[in-house]
Structure 1
């Protein structure tokens, strides 16, 4: 497992460090010099969205280099391969959350700029969107092959945003019809609900990917 994770890291090492720098600097600049709920959301989106991008790039590199086919000949269980992909994805997601927290700390403690609650709502939303992109991307990769990673990445990112917007629309319609009023906590409630749902689906996606990859013929 450690070897698989290191291989993924080294294949996108430069991207990770570039995205990490951007995922830290841009949110800090936004939180310090700009104000507004949408900009606070943007800061959270940049921190996590940028950081997780290299995890999806790994699939592209494996497809172009032929590593995905070569890996099937190695004495490594296919379960370990799938686990390494999902684990690497989650690790970079956690790094992104950490960078968002670091940006918040610097803005509040060093520059006395306190972001609005929308910053935390943005973190919840982007975690849900990112998890959804993984739910879509990994099973499709194991079905269609890493060679089609470019198309799959577009479908994953576009599909995750579409799922988020559709879920938010349904959420708004249902609770408005029932007369439920959350006030300023509505977005926070939706964020928690959305991330809870996506976590469950993400685990199911892992199980499906495991089954698909074990049955895949190279």
Structure 2
């Protein structure tokens, strides 16, 4: 498992450096514009990195070579899901750090707003890969591209809905709604969907023929 994650890390360093630059740029832009919708773009960007790595794996025929390695197909799938959580967590931390700096400068720091923002952006980031991975592992990166596009259509529809609800709420202000029960429900629903997707992807990939 460590070897698989290390391989993906090398690929990210080589092919995805622009993604991380965009994550930082959009984090600052979202914070200084007081716009949660805009701040969600870094999470959107980071959520597609593992999916892009799957495409690189297939184009290089690494998926065929991996079948000869001392690692199971379950580990191959799991490494992508773990990598997704890691990239999303890193992006969410970057957004939170930038937003904290912005709140301190504007003298409106509130921990409840940060907790709400972190939960929303993290769970929102889990949804596209949770939807796309099962199709990709079953059909392959190329044939599964329709799920890739549908996933982002659904994501931006969700972001649009969130924007209509909170468009008058500056990011991180005291009146940003924080309800621990709602946040926990949102978190566990998103986590449950991600786990179900994980299980389906393992099953699909184990039955897939190359």
CA distance in 1: counterparts of 2:31 and 2:160, whole angstroms: 25
Query: 1:185 matched to which residue of 2?
Result: 177
CA shift digits 1:25-79 (9 cap, x unpaired): 33224423x34xxx13422x02322223312211121222221222123222111
CA distance in 2: counterparts of 1:191 and 1:63, whole angstroms: 38
Query: 2:198 matched to which residue of 1?
Result: 206
Q: For residues 201 and 26 of structure 1, do their structure 2 counterparts lie closer, same or farther at Cα, with a shift above 3 Å needed?
A: closer
Query: 1:133 matched to which residue of 2?
Result: 128
Instruction: Within 5 Å, give how 1:159-174 maps onto structure 2.
Output: 159-162=154-157
Residue aligned with 2:205, SS: helix
Q: For residues 23 and 163 of structure 1, do their structure 2 counterparts lie closer, same or farther at Cα, with a shift above 3 Å needed?
A: closer
CA distance in 2: counterparts of 1:159 and 1:46, whole angstroms: 14
CA distance in 2: counterparts of 1:139 and 1:148, whole angstroms: 12
Q: Does 1:13 pair with 2:5?
A: no
CA distance in 2: counterparts of 1:192 and 1:42, whole angstroms: 24
Moved more, 202-211 or 46-55: 46-55
Query: 1:67 matched to which residue of 2?
Result: 62
Residue aligned with 1:148, SS: coil
Instruction: Within 5 Å, give how 1:38-57 maps onto structure 2.
Output: 39-43=35-39, 45-57=40-52
Counting matched residue pairs gives 197
Q: For residues 159 and 25 of structure 1, do their structure 2 counterparts lie closer, same or farther at Cα, with a shift above 3 Å needed?
A: closer
CA shift digits 1:80-139 (9 cap, x unpaired): 101101111111011011111111232133x33647877754543332232121221111
- CA deviation after TM superposition for structure 1 residue 144, in Å: 0.8
Structure 1: tracts of 5 or more residues without a match: 169-182
Query: 1:180 matched to which residue of 2?
Result: none
CA RMSD of the aligned region, Å?
3.0
CA distance in 2: counterparts of 1:142 and 1:207, whole angstroms: 11
Structure 2: tracts of 5 or more residues without a match: 163-174
Q: For residues 163 and 209 of structure 1, do their structure 2 counterparts lie closer, same or farther at Cα, with a shift above 3 Å needed?
A: farther
